[in-house]
Amino acid sequence: MMCTVCGCGEGETRIEGEEPHHDHTHEHTHAHRHGDGHDHGHDHHHGEPGDLHYGKGPARAHAPGMDQARMIAIEQDILGKNDQYAAANRGRFAQLGVLTLNLVSSPGSGKTTLLTRTLRDLKEEMPLAVIEGDQETSNDADRIRATGVPAIQVNTGKGCHLDAHQVGHAVDHLGLQEGAVLMIENVGNLVCPAAFDLGEAHKVAILSITEGEDKPIKYPDMFHAADLLLLNKIDLLPHLQFDIARCMEYAQRVNPGIQILQVSATTGEGMDQWYRWLRLNREARLVGHATAAEPKPAEVPA
C-alpha cells in the first residue's frame, strides 16, 4: 500500500504484509564524535565531558536581521502531525464502534501473557484484534495468532514507541470488525510511548509486582497518562517484598484518577474485574451505535 500523506518520523518501520515505504534511514547517527579539531565557542552543559557537538557556531551569537535572515514565528506543536494521525485513527474507531486500548509497560511485565489469556477468555464473547509493537521479530504476533485472534506485528526498528501513523497503517491491514476491541501492545518502554497518542480510548499500564513498587514515581509520565493500572503477577505476592498499598499510593500521587486492579494472568485471579472493566467500556462505546454486536432496535411499522 502506498502512503500518500506520509509524514512519520521513523525510517525503519516494518508492518507485516507491507513493503517498507520509508527508507530515509539516518545512518550517520554517531558520525560526529570529536577529533575533527574544530572549535566550539558555546558552552552547553553536556551529560558527558566535552564529547558531543550540538550545532555549529556560537550559540546566542547570531543576530537576526543580518544579511537576508529573517525571523518567523510558527508556534507549532512538535507532535502536531502525530496528533493529527491520532485524531484520524480515533475518528475511524468511533465510526466502527471499536474500543481501542494502548497497553504500555516495561519489558517483562507479563503483558503478552496477560493479553493472550484475555483473548482466549473473551474471543467467543466479542470481536478482538491486536496490533503488536516490538523493535524486532514477529514472535509476539505469532503468540497472539495462536489464540485465533487476528494480529499485525509492527516492528519499529530503532524506534522506541509506536506512533499514530504506524497504527493507521496496521489498521488498514487488520480489517477491523464493528464493535471490536482493539488491543495495541506498545513497545515495552515506560518513557517514550507516554508522549505518542495513537488514537486510543485509554492507555492501560501493566506493572508486575516483581518490579519496584516505586515505578509510578520513577516513570511518572506514563502512569499519569494511563487510565487503568493492572498490577500483574499478584500470585507471587507471598514470595516478594512488594508493598501494594505504597505502590497504589505512588500511582495515585502522579494520577489521582487512576483505577487500579490486581490481577494474575497465570492463575486468573482478579481477571474477572479486568474483563468487567473491558465489557463496560466496550458497552459504553456501543451505546447508540448500530452494530451486529448490539441487538438491533425493533423495526417501527410504517
Which residue of 1, 20, 21, 32 would you call a contact of other proteins, by CB under 8 A?
Answer: 32
Let me know how long the chain is: 302
Which residue of 2, 28, 37, 302 would you call a contact of other proteins, by CB under 8 A?
Answer: 28
Which residue of 19, 43, 76, 297 would you call a contact of other proteins, by CB under 8 A?
Answer: 76
Q: Which stretch binds other proteins (CB under 8 A): 141-149, 213-221, 260-268, 269-277?
A: 213-221
Instruction: Select 230 or 251, whichever has its Cβ closest to other proteins.
Output: 251
CA atoms within a 13 Å half-sphere pointing along the CA-CB vector of 177: 16
Chain Cα centroid distance, residue 161: 6
Instruction: Tell me if 78 contacts other proteins by CB under 8 A.
Output: yes
Contact residues for 6 (Cβ-Cβ < 8 A; gap 6+): 21, 22, 165
Instruction: Select 55 or 297, whichever has its Cβ closest to other proteins.
Output: 55
Which residue of 21, 26, 120, 276 would you call a contact of other proteins, by CB under 8 A?
Answer: 26
CA atoms within a 13 Å half-sphere pointing along the CA-CB vector of 8: 27
- Restricted to residues 242-261, the positions that interact with other proteins (CB under 8 A) are 250, 252-254, 256
* Cα separation, 129 vs 178, whole angstroms: 11
Contact residues for 119 (Cβ-Cβ < 8 A; gap 6+): 128, 130, 144, 147, 148, 149, 183
> Is beta strand 128-134 parallel, antiparallel or unpaired with respect to 151-155?
parallel
The residue ranges that bind other proteins (CB under 8 A) are 7, 9-10, 26, 28-32, 44-47, 52-57, 59-60, 62, 64, 67-82, 158-161, 163, 191-192, 194-196, 216-217, 220-221, 224, 250, 252-254, 256
